[in-house]
Amino acid sequence: MLSTAYLLSMSLLAGILTGIIGMASLTLYPVLLSIGIAPISANATITVATVGAGVGTVTSSLKELKHHWKTAFIVAGLSTIGSIMGAFILIHSSNSGFKRVVPFFILLAGVMLLWTNKNSSHHNELNLWRNIIGWLSIVLIGLYNGYFGAASGLLMIAVLSKVVGGEYATYNAIRNFESFINNIVSAIMFIIMLKIQWQIIVPLVLGLLIGGYIGPIIVRFIPSKIIKQVVGTFAVILASILMYQAYF
């Protein structure tokens, strides 16, 4: 009973964070490790459970997605291509090495969010290359998401803030849809090829579903600039802590 309440409360928190920035894996990964689940099985189980979060986040993000479905499908398609490749890599991986690579991805996301664009008509060529790199990055983030996923939401938000632009709530909604499609594909592959901890799926899905619906609602009431600054700063601090734990 205590374990169920623990998983439910942590998955609710993870769901809210997922709806705001996409941190289900980063939040739940240490939780599942703490109850004795092996790393790869934990990652696969979280991916299956976050399909529930996707139902909540996409439903709650329909208002922002109304005029951006074309972009959302393009982003989801590119990301899913990468995710399929990443899932195959995970299926043939060992349980070691995860924690050494995650801090660098989180640090990159934080720097990108804190870095402010200075639009200028004299930088059209630079902006073109930045967009090309940005769209390519969506595929690479999808690959990383299929492989591990921790901080992939942070990375996607950082890239979409440059490629899509506009209000945070808009590109966060696009990320929510992309993540939902991505997780469905990865979850199917993991169910077929990896061990899923079905005994804990119910509290995980329930918490993620409810939290996932709440997250995008919270985003509507907070200015984009503040969210980006807070999330960017948090990412840099978190990356520093994880880097210290991994290497020192």
Give pLDDT tens digits for 10-49: 999 989 988 888 777 778 888 898 888 888 888 889 889 9
Residue 232 is predicted with a pLDDT of: 82
Number of structural domains in the chain: 1
Q: pLDDT-derived band of residue 149, with 50, 70 and 90 as boundaries?
A: low
Instruction: Give the range of the structural domain holding residue 30, as residue numbers without chain letter.
Output: 2-247
Contact assessment for residue 215 and residue 27, using Cβ atoms and an 8 Å cutoff? no
Q: Is the pLDDT of residue 150 over 70?
A: no
How many C-beta atoms surround the C-beta of residue 70 within 10 A? 8
* Exposure letters 213-234 (e unless 16+ CB within 10 A, then b): bbbbeebeeeebeebbeebbeb
Q: What pTM did the predictor assign? A: 0.80
